[in-house]
Each structure stands twice: as structure tokens, then as C-alpha cells.
Amino acid sequence: MSTSLSTKLIRKTFIKLHSDNKQLDLQILAIKNELDRIRAKYEQDMRNLQTTQEHLNQIEKEIKHFPKDGSK
């Protein structure tokens, strides 16, 4: 009787741990995905900002070298 109870308990614990384990795997994957999304968004935003910055640097340079007489 007690052996059967203990087997049942072990089985129950096993199923629970197995399910917990799977849930944790899923959580880890979700966190990693979130990090990927954050990185991708950051890279995209950063690329856009860098392009704008380069563009502005170019404008600054052009202002500096713009001829005083207005010729090309």
C-alpha cells in the first residue's frame, strides 16, 4: 500500500517537474526573443540616427565650405 502511494507520489512529482521544466524552457526562449527584438529595434533606430548624423555632418561641412560669392 505504502509502496503504491510512494510510486504515485513520485509519478506525480515527476510529471509536475517535467511540466515546470518545459515551462521554464519556454520562458527562457521568450526572454531571449524579447532581447532579440530589443536589439533589432535598437540596431534599426541606431542605423537611422547614424544616417541622420552623417547627413548633418555633411551639411555642416558644406556650410563651412560654401563659397562667399555664392558660385558653385
Partner 1 sequence: MKRFGWKKNKTLSNIEAAVTSKTEEIQQLTIENEETKRRLQLHLQASQEEIAASYERIEKALNEDPQKWTLIKQQIQKKSDHQATFFPHLRIGERLLLLGIITAKQLNQSLKEQQIHGGRLGDIVVRLGYVSADQLKQIIDQSFQRLLLGELLVRSGYLSREELDEALHYQESVGGDIGEILVAMGLITPNQLTEALASQNQTGRLITYDKNVVLKAKLPETVARKFKALVIRHSVDQCIIAVESLLNEEELHRLAKIVDAPITQVLASPWEMELLWDQVYQEELLHESTEKLKNEQPENSASQTFTLTQIIVMIVIGIVIAAALMWNWFYTLVFINIIIQLMYFSMTVTKFVMILYGTKENAQIRFSKQQIQSIDERELPMYTILVPMYKESNVIPQLVRNLNRLDYPKNKLDIRLLIEKDDVEAQEVIQSLHLPYSFQMIIIPDGQPKTKPKACNYGLIRARGKYVVIYDAEDRPDPDQLKKVFLAFQQSPDNTACIQAKLNYFNSKQNLLTKFFTQEYSNWFELLLPGIMQMNIPIPLGGTSNHFKTDMLKKLGAWDPYNVTEDADLGIRLYKQEYSTRVVDSRTLEEANSQFRNWIHQRSRWIKGYMQTWLVHMRHPIRLHRELGIKGFWGAQFMLLSSPLLPMLNPIFWSLLIIWYMTHAGWIPAFFPGIIYYLAAVQLILGNFLFIYTNIAGTYWVVHELYRKKENWLSYSLVRYALLTPIYWGMMSIASIKALWQLIRKPFYWEKTEHGFDQERYDTTKSSSL
Applying CB under 8 A, which residues contact partner 1? 10, 13-14, 17-18, 20-21, 24-39, 42, 44-46, 48-57, 59-60, 62-64, 66-70, 72
Pull the grid cell for residue 36: 532579440
CB of 49 vs partner 1, minimal distance in Å: 4
* Helix (H), strand (E) at residue 66: none
Pull the grid cell for residue 52: 541622420
CB of 43 vs partner 1, minimal distance in Å: 9
CA 34-38-39 angle, to 5 degrees, is 115
- Name the residue type at position 67: P
CB of 2 vs partner 1, minimal distance in Å: 13
